[in-house]
Structure 1
Amino acid sequence: MNKLLLICLLFSVSGISFANVIHKERSLYRNIIVEDNYNLRCLKFNVKTSKTNQSCLYKNNPNKLVFNYTKLLFSSLLLLENPPENILIVGLGGGTMSNTLHQLYPNAKIENVEIDPAVIKVARQYFSFFENDNITSKVQDGRIFVKRAALKKQKYDWIILDAFNGDYIPEHLMTKEFLQETKTLLSENGVLSANTFSVSELYAHESATYKAVFGDFFNVRNRKNSNRIILTANSALPSGEVIVERVKKLAKQLSPFGVDIAQISSNMTSTSEEQDWSDDTKVLTDQYSPANLLNQ
């Protein structure tokens, strides 16, 4: 971990903070805060139960990624035979992922879907979120966007699910029905990655739900924290030999962004070999949602 980031986190845990709030507003959905802490700028959502970092950047090196989960998302490229041409990101944050993908694949079309217009505005103003003819942002609920895109028969090579409301993933974006709808948007060899956590009370139910829709998937984790990426594809998962070859091709390309793809690949485990939840775990549905579970 970057020393400056570690120091900032330690002060945060101890209750001491040098953060300077440079922007604060109440949107339709949440309190939005932008803080500068020395070289680190962070977007936070302040809800009833917590204040959480949604996106951060190093002001003196915006290209270098801060968060572990963002770096873990690049494991998705190990499942793609060719560079992605059409990418869908559900949940914008500060637009870090979109900006990075544009630098990697300047000709790719990237659609960002964000329910809160205030988040898009803040991403543009404080995090240099970049848009052009190929990179767009749409103010819409992710579930509605997916339904309409399916009717239009749109296809994506890479879908990233990264929508958080401050507490956790919105529950209507976790169900079997939603994932089935999203799966129809994947191109023939398309890949889907979802940002979630390994310590969530919903861990087993999330896992069972993804397996019910996609079959076996990769868990991608950093053993030092609670980040987990669920990584799956519309086709068969690649073998270990294929992944090793793709790591070699991607290592130099991803290094400037602080992504050690070799290290990340070593933390990928397939549920075909390691399933850490019970086979009788109940799948999340529109009728049996996270709220039903957490309020028991």
Structure 2
Amino acid sequence: MHILYQQTGSNHQITVYDTTELEGEKGNFRVLQFSNQAAQGAMDLDAPQRILFEYPRAMIHLMDFNNPSFQNLFIIGHGIGTIAGHYKDKQVKIAELDDNVVELSRRYFEYSQDNVIVGDGRRILEGEASHRYDYLILDAFTGKGTPRHLTTREFFSAARAKLDSQGAILMNVMGKGENDRLMNAIHTTLSGEFAYTKSFCLLSGGAAHDLQNIILMGSSRPIGFQLRQMAGFTEIEPGQGHIIMDSD
């Protein structure tokens, strides 16, 4: 590993490094990593347009499959700009809390678009016009996980108001599959605002208590997908949880 950048900020430690091995694959990779060894983005330096991580590949499939002609996308959480970079032909707006992350995406990961607003994603989204977006992606993390104020009933209600009648929200969260109390609560809260939901877990091959990538999707219409295009994610059925509210 060759460290290119490292700094501890108010939300987490940020490291950028080059490595010749990523998740068991040999090659030439550059990684953006937050606290606790949590990789937030990675680029194949020999093929920069290749999407390495499974969860953005699965999210892209879900969006393209359910609305192939969508045009407007709002993203909370920038990382290295993987999904926004994939959809250069779409109207994409990104909210990122840490201006340093935006700068690093440009300096080390070739992000060149001018569509990132620095600030709290919820507040920025609340200022958007109603029914403007086809999709909302939530991919925001601190050292403690997904920020709580992005998982409440009030947030999901505000998000639904910004989506058009065919719109949907997709979330990347970390959890323990179907037996995770917090993930169950997030799913139950999401289900209270969206008529249709789906949940998918990336099978990691580790122990049952290990944290894994989980994708939650909520929509006003039925959600479809092709399992072979889900990059290793399989559908799960979360248990009943409590409703998360701003006032809790």
The question of a shared fold, defined as TM-score above 0.5 by the shorter chain, is answered with yes
Name 1:185's counterpart in structure 2: 162
Query: Alpha-carbon deviation of 1:201?
Result: 4.2
Tell me, in whole angstroms, the C-alpha distance in 1 between the residues paired with 2:66 and 2:232.
14
- Taking structure 2 as the reference length, the TM-score comes to 0.85
State which of 105, 118, 121 in structure 2 corresponds to 1:142.
121
Structure 1 counterpart SS, 2:157: helix
Give, as a single letter, the amino acid of the residue that structure 2 aligns with 1:124. Answer: R
Are the aligned partners of 2:96 and 2:102 in contact in 1 as well (CA < 8 Å)? yes
1:110 aligns with 2:97: no
Give, as a single letter, the amino acid of the residue that structure 1 aligns with 2:126. Answer: K
Provide the aligned length of Structure 1 versus Structure 2.
231
Unaligned runs of at least 5 residues, structure 2: 21-27, 206-211
Name 2:202's counterpart in structure 1: 222
Q: Deviations over 1:194-216 (max 9, x none)?
A: 10134154121111111111133
1:86 aligns with 2:52: no
Are the aligned partners of 1:54 and 1:93 in contact in 2 as well (CA < 8 Å)? yes
Name 1:170's counterpart in structure 2: 147
Name 1:282's counterpart in structure 2: 242
1:1-296 to structure 2, matched below 5 A, reads: 19-38=1-20, 39-46=28-35, 50-74=36-60, 75-80=62-67, 82-102=68-88, 106=89, 108-132=90-114, 136-149=115-128, 152-153=129-130, 155-199=132-176, 200-224=180-204, 226-233=212-219, 235-238=220-223, 243=225, 262-264=228-230, 269=235, 275-278=237-240, 281-288=241-248
Higher alpha-carbon Rg: 1
**Which is strand-richer, 1 or 2?**
2
Unaligned runs of at least 5 residues, structure 1: 1-18, 248-260, 289-296
Structure 1 counterpart SS, 2:127: helix
Are the aligned partners of 1:90 and 1:160 in contact in 2 as well (CA < 8 Å)? yes
- Cα–Cα, structure 1 residues 44 and 267, in superposed 2: closer, same or farther, change >3 Å? closer
Structure 2 counterpart SS, 1:188: strand
Structure 2 counterpart SS, 1:113: strand
- Taking structure 1 as the reference length, the TM-score comes to 0.72
Query: Alpha-carbon deviation of 1:28?
Result: 3.8
Query: Alpha-carbon deviation of 1:266?
Result: 8.8
Are the aligned partners of 2:172 and 2:214 in contact in 1 as well (CA < 8 Å)? yes
**Which is helix-richer, 1 or 2?**
1
Tell me, in whole angstroms, the C-alpha distance in 2 between the residues paired with 1:212 and 1:193.
15
Are the aligned partners of 2:94 and 2:117 in contact in 1 as well (CA < 8 Å)? yes
Give, as a single letter, the amino acid of the residue that structure 2 aligns with 1:77. Answer: D
Give, as a single letter, the amino acid of the residue that structure 2 aligns with 1:40. Answer: F
Tell me, in whole angstroms, the C-alpha distance in 1 between the residues paired with 2:126 and 2:47.
38
Query: Alpha-carbon deviation of 1:154?
Result: 5.7
Tell me, in whole angstroms, the C-alpha distance in 1 between the residues paired with 2:175 and 2:232.
17
Percent identical: 23
Query: Alpha-carbon deviation of 1:267?
Result: 5.1
Query: Alpha-carbon deviation of 1:284?
Result: 0.7
Tell me, in whole angstroms, the C-alpha distance in 1 between the residues paired with 2:79 and 2:70.
21
Tell me, in whole angstroms, the C-alpha distance in 2 between the residues paired with 1:201 and 1:277.
8
Tell me, in whole angstroms, the C-alpha distance in 2 between the residues paired with 1:27 and 1:215.
39
Query: Alpha-carbon deviation of 1:282?
Result: 1.2
Tell me, in whole angstroms, the C-alpha distance in 2 between the residues paired with 1:84 and 1:268.
24
Give, as a single letter, the amino acid of the residue that structure 2 aligns with 1:33. Answer: T
Give, as a single letter, the amino acid of the residue that structure 2 aligns with 1:236. Answer: R
Are the aligned partners of 2:191 and 2:218 in contact in 1 as well (CA < 8 Å)? no
